[in-house]
């Protein structure tokens, strides 16, 4: 058995194990009815995409490229699993402060409104200060 065919056989085994791992993470995410994490979902999607690309490279016997893509898939799958575990821990502790690296449009809108309200208050205070200084200058000129 040549060295390359041995490497290909090992990569096929790694691919099968990794596909099972990604499936388990995806299944666990679907069963986590307390929170649907977009970060986990995207990571699983990226892992599946890297796995598919790895299989295509393996079919072309591009061993180095296939192995690199398997590593990328493992990274995404492991990241998804770690986020899922962290969110499950938060849920079990009763805090429900889930890590979202990607804000929803509602969260973004709420945050922008908070910032705009603070800016309006600050501008109003500056305007009141400017008016008070203007009134003080006028009073000083009249005396």
- C-alpha to C-alpha distance for 72 and 52, rounded to whole angstroms: 11
- Residues 94 and 122 both lie in one domain: no
Q: What is the pLDDT of residues 91-108, one digit of tens each?
A: 777 765 555 556 677 877
- Residues 110 and 87 both lie in one domain: no
Predicted TM-score (pTM) of the model is 0.63
**Range among 76-85, 101-110, 116-125 with highest mean pLDDT value:** 76-85
- Residues 25 and 90 both lie in one domain: yes
Whether residue 119 is predicted with pLDDT greater than 60 in this model: the reply is yes
Q: What is the mean pLDDT of residues 37-56?
A: 94
Q: What is the pLDDT of residues 59-76, one digit of tens each?
A: 998 999 999 999 999 999
Q: State residue 101's pLDDT score.
A: 56
Q: What domain range is 123 assigned to?
A: 103-143
- Residues 10 and 51 both lie in one domain: yes
- C-alpha to C-alpha distance for 98 and 76, rounded to whole angstroms: 19
- Residues 56 and 81 both lie in one domain: yes
């Amino acid at each position: 058995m040549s060295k390359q065919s041995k490497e290909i056989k090992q990569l096929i085994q790694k691919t099968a194990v990794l596909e099972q791992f990604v499936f388990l993470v995806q299944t666990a995410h679907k069963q986590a009815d307390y929170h649907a994490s977009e970060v986990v979902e995207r990571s699983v999607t990226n892992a599946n995409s890297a796995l598919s690309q790895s299989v295509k490279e393996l079919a072309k016997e591009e061993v180095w490229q296939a192995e690199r893509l398997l590593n990328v898939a493992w990274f995404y799958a492991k990241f998804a699993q770690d986020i899922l575990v962290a969110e499950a821990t938060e849920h079990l502790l009763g805090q429900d402060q889930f890590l979202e690296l990607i804000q929803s449009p509602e969260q973004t809108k709420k945050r922008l409104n908070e910032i705009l309200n603070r800016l309006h208050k600050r501008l109003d205070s500056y305007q009141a200060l400017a008016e008070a200084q203007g009134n003080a200058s006028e009073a000083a000129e009249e005396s």
